[in-house]
Amino acid sequence: MRKNRRRRSRFAWRRALRALAGAAALAGATVAAGRLLGWAKAHPYFAVREIDVAAHGRLDGETLLAWSGLAPGMSVWDVRERDAEARLLAHPRIREASVGRRLPGQVVIRVEEREPVALLFAAQPLWVAADGEVFPPCEGETTDGFPYVSGVGGAARSGAAAERLRRAARLVVSWREHARWPAISEVRPAADEITVFLVGTPMAVRFPLEAGAEDFARLGTVLEIWRGREAQLAVIDLSLPGEAVLRLRGAKRGAPRFPLPAAARPDGTPDPAWLDADRRSVGRGSAT
């Protein structure tokens, strides 16, 4: 009995010593690995010598590099790809971002920008992207030639105001597809319609909230009929389904408005019967 106890005691001590030796070896290896990693981080061989920035927008590489928080000369081991991506995506101008590192000293940054399509009329101009996102212009960035979106407060990042911005932006993008039409100077989204003002003419165009291809087709028909005489038109109202309602410039309040049908001849040419000389009977019926 006593011999068995002594044997068990010796075995327990041996196991404890082996465990202690293993722990000491592991600690030593950890310290060695830490020292090795510290040496690798500090070694010039692993310094970032090249940062490849690929973007196809208005932002320059220096701006994107600054937003990423990365810089040449830092250790490639200190590059945290997900953190750099998060810093880029914190700017609403950036739609997508990816960052990768290639040993021994290269970093690759890929970004997709939101394209500005208009300017939000606010205390300070803000870009409006095609998806309705808003963001400030960069220092020195020109804003010439872009239409303004008015009637939406500067804090237009949520709720109904954000939806109105998205609809206005979609309309601007659709309008761009018609190169022969006058450029837009201002878009004014409201609760039940969107009004567009044009460059070089006092004419306004009213669209339904969800302006679609059929609305643009009707507008194209009207503009073709009135080509060269656009200055006579005060308003083209497309908010009624299937019709284009015109109001002439100089007409007094309560004066007739002239509905035009959206249909055209089978060969695609406008029906001249829409344009009676005295403008008292146009299209589907008498003026109202």
**Tens digit of pLDDT for each residue in 79-99?**
999 999 999 999 999 999 999
Q: Are residues 121 and 254 in the same domain?
A: yes
Q: Are residues 206 and 147 in the same domain?
A: yes
Gap between the Cα atoms of 98 and 168, Å rounded: 30
Q: Where a domain ends, among 82, 113, 144? A: 113
Q: Among all chains, which residue has been given the structure tokens 């695609």?
A: 268
Sheet order of strands, 50-54 included: 50-54, 106-113, 94-102
CATH of the domain at 81: 3.10.20.310
Q: Among all chains, which residue has been given the structure tokens 């998060």?
A: 86
Q: Are residues 225 and 190 in the same domain?
A: yes
Gap between the Cα atoms of 194 and 239, Å rounded: 9
User: Over 50: is that where the pLDDT of 201 sits?
Assistant: yes
Q: Where a domain ends, among 113, 136, 165? A: 113
Q: Are residues 139 and 191 in the same domain?
A: yes
The answer to whether the beta carbons of residues 168 and 161 sit under 8 Å apart is no
Q: Are residues 177 and 93 in the same domain?
A: no
Task: Work out the mean pLDDT of the chain and round it to a whole number.
Answer: 79
pLDDT confidence of residue 252? 66
pLDDT confidence bin for 13, thresholds 50/70/90: very low
Higher pLDDT, 12 or 112: 112
Does residue 268 lie within any of the structural domains? yes
Mean pLDDT of 61-66: 94
Does residue 11 lie within any of the structural domains? no
User: Over 90: is that where the pLDDT of 34 sits?
Assistant: no
Q: Are residues 139 and 174 in the same domain?
A: yes
pLDDT confidence of residue 186? 96
Task: Give the pLDDT confidence of 220-273 residue by residue, as tens digits.
Answer: 999 999 988 888 999 999 998 888 999 998 876 655 555 655 444 334 444 444
Gap between the Cα atoms of 118 and 129, Å rounded: 7
Does residue 265 lie within any of the structural domains? yes
Does residue 251 lie within any of the structural domains? yes
CATH of the domain at 122: 3.40.50.11690
- Render the burial of 45-75: b for 16+ CB within 10 Å, e for the rest: ebebeebebebeeebeeebbbebbebeeebb
Q: Are residues 134 and 204 in the same domain?
A: yes
Q: What is the extent of the structural domain holding 240?
A: 116-286
Q: What is the token pair recorded at 66?
A: 């600054």
* CB within 8 Å of 65: residues ≥ 6 apart: 51, 53, 71, 109
Q: Are residues 59 and 170 in the same domain?
A: no
Domain count, the chain: 2
